[in-house]
Structure 1
Amino acid sequence: MSVKFFGLLNHEYSSETVPKRKDAPVMDVDYMVRRAKEHEQAGFDRVLIAHHSSNPDGFVLASHIAQNTTTLKFMIAHRPGFIAPTYAARMWSTFDQVYGGRAGIHIISGGNDADQRADGDFFSHAERYKRTDEWLTVFRKMLTENAPFDYSGEFFKTEQSFSKLKPLQKPHFPIFFGGASDDAIQVGSKHVDYWALYGEPLAETQEMISRIRASAQAAGRDPNSIQFVLTFRPVVGQSEAEAWKKADDIIARIKELRGASAGATKGAKPDAVSSQRLRDIAAQGKVRDARLWTEVAAAIGGGSNSTGLVGTAEQIAESLKAYHDLGVTAFLVRGFDPASDIQEFGRDLIPVVNEYIGETDPAVSR
């Protein structure tokens, strides 16, 4: 299995350690284009463009960025139900054709009730996943069916639906998915190509992979047809001591900026099972396994991808190899300084990981 690296593309220059300037625009398009080009040059395969009820539209941003890059692929977050699945399928297929097979969709059913309601969605967690199940059923049929079809469900009903335009990627572009609840696993395992998981200890990661694969098999799918993306915040040093000094500086800066809110759920997704899992993992210690760093997850309440790997590039590569052995084929990595960490990962980390995994796993293509 080959290993791929994904990045995250923010619409502004900020992070947990870099506060947004008061005079900064809500959307800095030039900044996004620069960061996208740096991801491409650094050897990243794909970038995630996230979704939030108050953020700029990710699909439009991805279209602009695709015009200014050549090979970089996309993982555009989408909350199913706000756009009809028939229409969304034509949107993503058009994107895939126009930009040379670089589309990808990341399905987020919604782990935060308040953020869902801000967009006018008042369905419960369970109802959202039932809707996602129907949405993905129709969406995938639109991408692949060669004749018109009807569909009648609780949330969607169509008659003679058909798209003349199909994706350039066959049978279709990759469908990504995230979630750790029982509802998420039951629904996602029926439909998706890649499952995105937060960076957890090896035992917990193995448990999640096993649950998802077992659910896929129960749904009549090949359990190995689902690939896994794991998210980390690497902290790389020339020595292990230097890396931990950087980590200590990062957590000190986060606590300084957050003040009394450190350790609370500010910025977190308190309703999401995946966020609760990170909070539970962080409560068991600052470091899990050899070098899984949990302090940031504890400080921000488990929101977003907030666990790190701390060490030299070789040490981090060894840790990633252990996850690769469990079946993880892609890593979404981002740092705490969006302007410099992309280049550092491309220069110091990605080549070492590719070499390390390639040398220890003959199945990895060079």
Structure 2
Amino acid sequence: MSLRFHWFLPTNGGDGRHVVGGGHGLAPGGSGRPADVAYLTQVARAAEDNGFTAALTPTGAWCEDAWLSTAMLSQTTDRLKFLVAFRPGVVSPFLAAQMAGTFQNMSEGRLLLNVVTGGESHEQRMYGDYLDKDARYRRCDEFLEIVRRLWAGETVDFHGEHLSVDAATLGQIPDPIPDIYFGGSSPAAGIVAARHADVYLTWGEPPDAVAAKIAWIRGLAAEQGRTIRFGIRMHTITRDTADEAWAEADRLLAGIPADTVETVQEGLRRSESEGQKRMIALHNGSRDKLEIYPNLWAGVGLVRGGAGTALVGSHEQVADRITEYAALGIEEFVLSAYPHLEGAYWFGEGVLPILADRGLWTDERPRRRRHTLVPFAAAGR
């Protein structure tokens, strides 16, 4: 088994040398590096050059549109795939299936999809979506059934509780069919994941909690006669030594004002997302005891919604934690760092070679010709 590693494109307010907050209905904090095509191309190429398979682009009112951003970046990169997050409540299933077909065919197969049902009703209403959370999951189930059938080449007649199509036939069937990534910690989310997900994504909780979630989803999928791969979303602070890594974590923490933490946590506590509630429970808004498991740090979640934990340590220690998660059944890792550009190199040059030596990761980058610095050096031997 070769693990797959993905990076993150910071379209959520930009990038910088400090934690950029926001998410789950909160406005992003300050950054310093804009989320423009020029900078995001640097991040995407850094991910591509360091052996990452794909890059996740988030969705929501707090960030740039993922479809448009990645379509642009597909033209400034060569091999990197794009894990496009989108919300089924703001686009029709036929249009989404058609968009995926166009993207996949015009990018030569570089599309993956992260379906996000939407955890915050007040944010969903900004898009004109007035369903409650449970209804959003029922609609998502209908949405994915229609999309899957369209991708299978069917002519679809469907009349559900929330969605209906008549004689729908897709002309742009994606080749290959993009994998669907899906997350969620509520019972309603588990049902949709079991029926439709190729990869179930969880945020970076301690191994025992992750193992319980894997067992839960695996059991639900088995009831549907399906198997699912598992992935995890977290940040990284990896350095040559553990002291350097924890010094960087301390620097990031020092750059977070106490009043900002209070304001952000007040907003996040209103979240309807079960996953967000689990993230908050890891730190409870306190700066104390943020290392919640060896090399697992909850400091990012003080000001950022969504993924709130980071792997912190030497390259060897971070590789050890990844090996531990892999032993539980995690096959895909969606990672990030601050800043994302430099972080791709820290992880790609520091951790991936260790995992390759352990037989856990295969470098699929095309081999490059190596030129001698002195062309005629051999002649003098």
Give your verdict on TM over 0.5: yes
1:324 positional shift: 0.4
TM-aligned CA deviation for residue 242 of structure 1: 2.0
Which deviations, in whole Å up to 9, do the C-alpha atoms of 1:309-357 show, x marking residues without a partner? Answer: 111111110110010011111111111222321222221122223323x
1:303 to 285, 302, 305: 305
Structure 2 partner of 1:137: 145
Which position in structure 2 is the counterpart of 1:329?
331
Q: Distance in 1 between matches of 2:133 and 2:262?
A: 27
Whether the 8 Å contact between 1:107 and 1:175 is mirrored in structure 2 is yes
Deviation sequence 1:172-204 (CA, Å, 0-9, x none): 110111211111001121001011110000100
Deviation at 1:115, TM superposition (A): 1.1
C-alpha distance in 1 between matches for 2:201 and 2:299: 21
8 Å CA contact 2:269–2:277 kept in 1: the answer is no
Instruction: Trace 1:144-223 onto structure 2 (pairs within 5 A).
Output: 144-145=152-153, 147-169=154-176, 172-221=177-226
Is residue 6 of structure 2 the alignment partner of residue 3 of structure 1?
no
Distance 1:345 1:153, change over 3 A: same
C-alpha distance 260-33 of structure 1, shift in aligned 2 (>3 A): closer
**Compared CA separation, residues 206 and 41, structure 1 to 2 (3 A):** same
Opposite residue 4 of structure 2, the aligned amino acid is K
- 2:58–2:84 Cα contact (<8 Å) kept: yes
Q: Write the distance in 2 (CA, Å) between the matches of 1:102 and 1:17.
A: 29
Deviation at 1:72, TM superposition (A): 0.3
In the aligned structure 2, how far is the partner of 1:345 from the partner of 1:269? 34
Among residues 242, 245, 264, which one is paired with 1:243 in the alignment?
245
1:106 aligns with 2:108: no
> What is the percent sequence identity of the aligned residues?
27
Equivalent residue pairs, number: 350
2:314 alignment counterpart: 312
For residues 64 and 263 of structure 1, do their structure 2 counterparts lie closer, same or farther at Cα, with a shift above 3 Å needed? closer
Contact 1:13-1:338 at 8 Å conserved across structures: no
**Judging changes above 3 Å, is the alpha-carbon distance between structure 1 residues 125 and 33 closer, same or farther for their aligned structure 2 residues?**
same
Q: Secondary structure at the match of 1:130?
A: helix
Offset of residue 307 of structure 1: 0.5
Partner residue in 2 for 1:36: 44
SS at match of 2:118: coil
Question: What's the TM-score once normalised by structure 2's chain length?
Answer: 0.86
Query: How far apart in 1 are the matches of 2:192 and 2:174?
Result: 23
* Higher Cα radius of gyration: 2
Q: How does 1:256-295 map to 2 (within 5 A)?
A: 259=260, 261=262, 264-266=265-267, 270-283=271-284, 285-295=289-299
Q: Secondary structure of 2:265's match?
A: coil
Contact preservation (8 Å) 2:229, 2:331: yes
Q: Secondary structure at the match of 1:81?
A: helix
CA distance in 2 between partners of 1:338 and 1:73 (Å): 17
| 1:321/1:197 CA distance change after superposition, 3 Å | same
Q: Once the 2 structures are TM-superposed, how far is the Cα of residue 43 of structure 1 from its aligned partner?
A: 1.2
Q: What is the match of residue 378 of structure 2?
A: none
Q: Residues 168, 260 of structure 1: CA spacing in aligned structure 2 closer, same or farther, 3 A cutoff?
A: closer
Superposition deviation, residue 269 in structure 1: 7.3
Choose from 20, 29, 33 the match for 2:30.
20
User: What letter matches 2:249 in structure 1?
Assistant: A
Runs ≥4 residues deviating over 6 A: none
CA distance in 2 between counterparts of 1:269 and 1:62 reads 31
Q: Aligned partners of 1:181 and 1:355: how far apart in 2?
A: 38
- The CA distance in 2 between the partners of 1:216 and 1:136, in whole Å, is 15
* Residues 226, 250 of structure 1: alpha-carbon distance in 2 compared, 3 angstrom cutoff: same
Pick one of 326, 345, 348 that aligns with 1:346.
348
2:340 aligns to what SS in structure 1? coil
- Tell me how far 1:306 sits from its aligned partner: 1.5
C-alpha displacement at 1:73, in angstroms? 0.3
Corresponding residue number in structure 2 for 1:48: 56
Give 1:21 shift.
6.2
> What secondary structure, in the 3-state scheme, does the structure 1 residue paired with 2:282 have?
helix
Between stretches 333-342 and 106-115, larger displacement belongs to 333-342
Contact 2:8 2:340 in 1 (8 A): no
Deviation at 1:260, TM superposition (A): 5.7
Q: Is the 8 A contact 1:255 1:262 kept in 2?
A: no
Residue-by-residue CA offset, 1:26-57 (whole Å, 9 max, x unaligned): x5221112211111111111011111125332
Q: Is this contact kept in 2: 1:268–1:304, CA < 8 A?
A: no
3-state SS in 1 of match to 2:44: helix
Could you tell me how far apart the structure 2 residues matched to 1:219 and 1:265 are?
A: 39
> For residue 366 of structure 2, what is the aligned residue in structure 1?
none
Output the aligned Cα RMSD. Answer: 2.2
Cα pair 1:269 1:304 within 8 Å, conserved: no
TM-aligned CA deviation for residue 127 of structure 1: 0.4
Alpha carbons 1:314, 1:353 under 8 Å: kept: no
